[in-house]
């Protein structure tokens, strides 16, 4: 019979192999980006360190403001995450713990909204935000359409429904208002839902291309996805290692 230490070692070995398999594409991608020219031996896993260079990144930075684009992506993604967490938390708490007329209809509408593709809303959003509010080439113009995430609202609502109602009722009996109940009781308990919402939301704005491309014409305001797309379409074909 295998000992607990043997089972633990076998489990760690399997997890380590899984981690290596998961990280290998990222390793290969970084390795390729540090080569002066595309490698003639794609199976080589141990590169010659003397042949690696940062020249590719320097070349990109000379054509597009790479660090500025990274900062823009960080602000864009951070603003979306902040809006997702704040509005998702409040809406999820209200739909789960408050009793008001039409709560079921609001939740059903929330689920239906997830079926509407963003591309269908893009033209009216562009008219509203760019022409109506004058938010072209601004962080707020990029963030607003993504500030409320219906998936995050759903995650928070389902999490709060699993919490005992007695916790909230006891706080209300002690005289706490709804805002206090939410901040003092709901928020400290919702860390799993908070982490899930952040992970589900992060990849969307970080990779978003079409909406920032529409609302930003100033290169200094474009996030990384737009800046790299401009680089690829203009000068990447002439690079030694595109």
Which pLDDT value is given to residue 111?
Answer: 84
Helix or strand or coil: residue 47?
coil
Chain-centroid distance of CA 13 in Å reads 31
**pLDDT at residue 240, rounded to an integer:** 60
At 56, is the secondary structure helix, strand, or coil?
helix
- Mean pLDDT, rounded, of the chain: 86
Are residues 82 and 196 both part of a single domain? yes
Contact 242, 236 (CB under 8 A): yes
pTM for the complete prediction?
Answer: 0.79
pLDDT in tens, 67-118: 899 999 999 999 999 999 999 999 999 998 888 888 889 888 888 888 888 8
Residues 46 and 81 grouped into a single domain: no
Note whether 82 and 146 are same-domain residues.
yes
Q: What is the pLDDT of residue 235?
A: 65
CB atoms within 10 A of CB 193: 22
Domain of residue 202, residue span:
63-238
101 and 20 co-located in one domain = no
- Same domain? For 131 and 215 the reply is yes
Same structural domain, 34 and 145? no
Residues 41 and 116 grouped into a single domain: no
Res 42: pLDDT: 55
Confidence of residue 40 (pLDDT cuts 50, 70, 90): low
Q: Name the pLDDT band for 2 (thresholds 50, 70, 90).
A: low
Report whether pLDDT(63) > 60.
Answer: yes
Q: How many domains does the chain have?
A: 2
Query: CA dist 173 to 23, 153, 225, Å?
Result: 52, 27, 51
- pLDDT(1) > 60: no
Determine contact, residues 67/220, Cβ cutoff 8 Å.
Answer: no
């Amino acid at each position: 019979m295998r000992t607990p230490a043997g089972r633990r070692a076998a489990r760690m070995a399997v997890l380590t192999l899984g981690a290596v398999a998961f990280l290998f594409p990222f390793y290969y991608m970084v390795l390729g980006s540090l080569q002066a020219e595309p490698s003639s031996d794609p199976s080589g896993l141990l590169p010659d360190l003397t042949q690696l260079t940062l020249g590719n990144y320097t070349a990109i930075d000379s054509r597009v403001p790479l660090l500025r684009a990274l900062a823009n992506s960080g602000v864009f993604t951070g603003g979306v995450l902040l809006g997702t967490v704040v509005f998702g938390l409040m809406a999820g708490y209200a739909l789960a713990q408050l009793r008001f007329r039409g709560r079921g209809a609001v939740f059903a509408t929330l689920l239906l909204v997830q079926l509407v593709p963003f591309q269908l809303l893009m033209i009216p959003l562009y008219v509203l935000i760019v022409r109506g509010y004058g938010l072209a080439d601004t962080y707020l113009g990029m963030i607003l359409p993504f500030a409320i995430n219906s998936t995050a609202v759903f995650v928070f609502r389902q999490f709060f429904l699993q919490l005992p109602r007695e916790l909230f009722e006891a706080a209300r009996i002690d005289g706490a208002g709804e805002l206090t109940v939410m901040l003092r009781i709901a928020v400290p308990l919702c860390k799993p839902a908070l982490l899930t919402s952040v992970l589900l939301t992060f990849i969307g704005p970080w990779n978003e291309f079409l909406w920032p491309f529409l609302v930003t014409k100033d290169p200094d305001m474009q996030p990384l996805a737009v800046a790299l797309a401009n680089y690829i379409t203009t000068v990447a074909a002439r690079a030694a290692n595109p």
